[in-house]
Structure formats: C-alpha cells, structure tokens
Structure 1
Amino acid sequence: MALRQEVSAWRPAVRGVAEVFHAHFTDYAYPMHVHEAWTLLIVDDGAVRYDLDRHEHGTPHDTVSLLPPHVPHNGSPATSQGFRKRVLYLDSDVLGEDLVGAAVDAPDLRDPVLRRRVGQLHSALALPGDELEADSRLTLIGERLRDHLSSPARSPLRARQRPDPVLARRLRELLDERVVQGLALEEAAALVQAHPAHLVRAFSSAYGIAPHQYLTARRVDLARRLLLDGRPPGDVAAAAGFYDQAHLTRHFRKLVGVTPGRYGDRRKASVR
C-alpha cells in the first residue's frame, strides 16, 4: 500500500480552541511526546493505538479520546489501513488541571452523544462565520467531559435542570438587538449572569432551537428583505451579519431552499 499522509491544521477564532488538526496517515507513528493543551481526539476511519502513562489504549471510531496536557503519549496505526482522525487542542480553561488524573485513568470515552457533538463542533469550526455555534457546542462538550471525569461513577448523565424561560427570553432579546453585530456566548453569559452551558440549555428548552440557529434564522430573514429590495448578494451578506457571501449562501440555501441570487431574481426563482 502506498504511504499516505494528509494533514490540515488551523487556529479558529473561537476562545478555548488552540488548534484544529485533521490527518490521514497509513504508516506513521508518533514518538512519545507531550502537549501543553488538552487533546480531544476522534477517529473517523481505522484505529489508533497509543501509550499513555505506561498503559496501552486504542481509539475505535465510536469513542472519544481525551489526553491530558503534559502527560507523555505516542500513537500509531492499529491496522494496515492506517487511520483518519480529527483533533481539537483545547486550552486549559476549558478543562481544569484537577481533571488530569481522571483523564489519565480513563482517556477513552464511549459516549455516542459526546462523539456526535465533537463531530458537529468540527463542522462548525471548518468555515468562518459560525463562531456562536462553535462556542455553544464547545461549552456543552466541556460540560459533558467534566461530567465524565468528575462524577464518582464517571457517568455523563446530568440531573435535569428546571426550565428557565426568563433567562431564555433575556438571551433572545440580546440576540434580537445584535442580529448583525452578533454576540459571543461568553459575553451573553456575563450580561445575564448565567453559566454559558445553562444559558444554551435554557434557550434551547424554551424555544426548541439553539441560540446560534435562532441568530442565523434572524439573519436569513434580514437577508431576504434586503434581497427583495434589490440589493446584490455580496452587499447583503455584510449587511445581514454574515462573514462573507459564501457564508450567506450556505445558510440561505439551507433555510430557504435556493441561493440568494435566485431568490432575488423572479425570472430564476421558478426554474427547476
């Protein structure tokens, strides 16, 4: 089999994520090394074998692996087909150093909900403009990881919290005031004096939609009005709060079913 090495890495504009790293290796072994950040790893194809604190571990595709900072580990393909992985390097303020020991004892977590959320976070980080979504997903991931590592039974289950419609309404009002400017989750939490994770859950419970989905829908509505006023999509993207025209097009097509250009052109809107 021909050797294969594909790597992409970037630093997103999301607080708490030091680096995003995607790689596909067929015959490459990492030597023992350490990271300053927490390493949150999922494997999409194949499997990785690694040693952590002198114990051997593996990462099949249905697990999430969390490797603590400053603890030596290595890594190599567990099969001849190699592996394809996605990694997030998280700053220490996402997970405290008090959880290092628990992560060393149990770095591989079998949790389908956590696995899905980590994949969704990678998707949100892939393109600029979806920072509120990434912030929200990272907050819930951090909370679930802490549940895994801090509870006596190492269970991800959290006691159900009571609905908080007042808190949800306060966040909705903030989002309505800043449709174009946007609002970071950390700033919103400080303004309403609530924990970010509780704020996201309260909003989602009250309105059946996550805060980032609500903000995107409001921006698409604004874009529709501007397009019907005859403004070109390139101008509408910035005026409606989108990162660029590609960002507008991606969400507009998802919510409306057509691109902004076709929506604003009556001659093309009915073409199949």
Structure 2
Amino acid sequence: MTETVRAWRPEVPLLQEVLHARFEHHVYPAHTHDSWSVLLIDDGAVSYDLDRHAHEAVPAAVTLLPPHVPHDGRTAVPGDPFRKRVLYLDPEWLPAHAADAAARHPMLSTPEIVGAVERIHDALAAPGDALTVEGELLGLAQLVRPRLGENEETTSDRPLAQRLRRHLDDRFREAFTIAEVAEALGSSRAHLVRVFSQAYGIAPHRYVVGRRVDSARRLLLDGSSPAEAAAASGFHDQAHLTRHFRRVLGTTPGRFVAA
C-alpha cells in the first residue's frame, strides 16, 4: 500500500478538519497548528517531539496536541508504516490554559476517551450525523478536562435543562446544532450539555436520537416504510435510521417490521 492522505472539512461546529493518512517514509518537520489536534493511531506507532520533549503515539490511546505548540512526527520503527486519524478542533474546544497540561501529558489512554473518539469517527463516516458528532465532541471535552487538571464544578440548573428539553422535543425532527440551541437559550454549549446531562442522565444529542428512533418505531408499526419513517422522524436517510435503530433496539427497521 502506498502512502495516502485524505482530508475534508465536515459542516460540524467545533470541527475544522478531519485527516486520515498512512505514512512509512514521511517525516513531519517541526510545525504548529492553530487548533487542537486529536490523534488516533490505528496501526504502527509515531515518535514525536512536543515542546522539545520526546513522546510516542500508539494504538489504543488518544494523543492530544494543543494549539501553537511545536511538534514533529515520524514512524517509531524505520520501515514500519503507521496509519492515523486526526480531528482538528477549534481553539475554544478547551480552555486556553489547558494547553500547558496537554503539552506535558499528551497521551490519554482511558477506554472512555478512546471510545469517544472512535464514536466521533464512526459518525463522521456516514452522512446526516452532524448533531451526533457535535455532541460527542462536547462530551469528549468533558472527559478530557479532568485529565488536564480541570475539575470544574457544575452548578445544577434544572430550569435551563427543562428549557433545553422542551426545545429538543419541539425540534427533534429538524436538522439543527447544539451551537444554535445554545445561542437561542443564551448559554454556552458546554454548560448546556453539562446541566442537561446532570438533570436527565443523558447527553442532548443522544436524547434527540432516542426521540427520533422512538418516532420511527411507531411509524413502522403504523405501516410506514423504513424510508418514510426515516424522513418523517428527522433522519438523513434510511441508512442513517438503520444505523441508530440497530444501536438502540438491536435490530434493523426491516427486521423489526417483519417480526
């Protein structure tokens, strides 16, 4: 397999760019980004210097590179290629002062963090899941912050959580972003996600997906086709419905109707 690079810019708040690459001989010179880089290694390993300290990025761990901090990169074993997936995120995804802690400890290896990054890439692989990607990015920030010494206390704000729930109930069949809802409710995205999750035990984007699946299930039982149920319940298309329907209910819409 030759060395390959694929990059694109999804229309998702906070997400500037996605990069998938396979390298064997390429060596990155020292450089910086104006974004947070969330690196996932699929095969091989990468040796790199970050802020003049040596590190290694390996599978089963997430590497977090802060904005404006110089780093380079190369295969850890000469002749052994590596494959990577990278998310480039807006600087405000994490507080500016978190950059120092990330530069000192860039490797995040908890299963929760690795799983969150995997879910983001899974959602990016199919159209129609921008809300899921945005929600998972906000959730990832909450997982990362304690690892960087950020133990922010969240004050309970049930009235705000209830306002958000009413908003989601009114609009779950529509295409929207958490950023739009936060602006409408006069709150930050991060605070909105925290208070909703605290009040109801579920992230806003997962609540919306659940409402959509529940709506599609009822429409299927009423005789709608999977394509009709998908369109009426807010899914991008039938494939989008099938992906979430299987995850929530353990079967596909077609099998659900047949049974």
Q: Tell me the TM-score normalized by structure 2.
A: 0.83
Matches for 1:1-272 after TM superposition, within 5 Å: 4-79=2-77, 80-95=79-94, 100-109=99-108, 111-143=110-142, 145=144, 154-156=148-150, 158-264=151-257, 269-270=258-259
Q: CA deviation at 1:171?
A: 1.4
Cα deviation 1:190-223 (Å, max 9, x = unaligned): 2333332232232223323222222112112222
Please state whether the residue corresponding to 2:234 is helix, strand or coil.
coil
Q: CA deviation at 1:242?
A: 0.4
Q: CA deviation at 1:180?
A: 0.9
Please state whether the residue corresponding to 2:56 is helix, strand or coil.
strand
Q: Residues 251 and 114 from structure 1, CA distance in 2 versus in 1: closer, same or farther, beyond 3 angstroms?
A: closer
Asked whether the equivalents of residues 189 and 196 of structure 1 are also in contact (C-alpha less than 8 Å), the reply is: yes
Letter in 2 for 1:173: R
Q: CA deviation at 1:109?
A: 4.3
Q: CA deviation at 1:174?
A: 0.8
Asked whether the equivalents of residues 13 and 179 of structure 2 are also in contact (C-alpha less than 8 Å), the reply is: no
Single out whichever of 94-103 and 113-122 deviates more from structure 2.
94-103
Q: Residues 140 and 217 from structure 1, CA distance in 2 versus in 1: closer, same or farther, beyond 3 angstroms?
A: closer
Please state whether the residue corresponding to 2:91 is helix, strand or coil.
coil
Please state whether the residue corresponding to 1:93 is helix, strand or coil.
helix
Please state whether the residue corresponding to 2:93 is helix, strand or coil.
coil
Please state whether the residue corresponding to 1:127 is helix, strand or coil.
coil
RMSD of the TM alignment (CA)?
2.8
- In structure 1, what is the Cα distance between the partners aligned to 2:215 and 2:233? 6
The sequence identity of aligned pairs, in percent, is 49
Single out whichever of 13-22 and 127-136 deviates more from structure 2.
127-136
- In structure 1, what is the Cα distance between the partners aligned to 2:230 and 2:76? 46
Structure 1, unpaired ranges of 5+? 149-153
Equivalent residues, number: 258
Letter in 2 for 1:222: S
Asked whether the equivalents of residues 101 and 149 of structure 2 are also in contact (C-alpha less than 8 Å), the reply is: no
Q: CA deviation at 1:176?
A: 0.7
- In structure 1, what is the Cα distance between the partners aligned to 2:107 and 2:213? 40
Q: Tell me the TM-score normalized by structure 1.
A: 0.80
Letter in 2 for 1:64: V
Asked whether the equivalents of residues 16 and 88 of structure 2 are also in contact (C-alpha less than 8 Å), the reply is: yes
Asked whether the equivalents of residues 175 and 183 of structure 1 are also in contact (C-alpha less than 8 Å), the reply is: no
Letter in 2 for 1:191: A
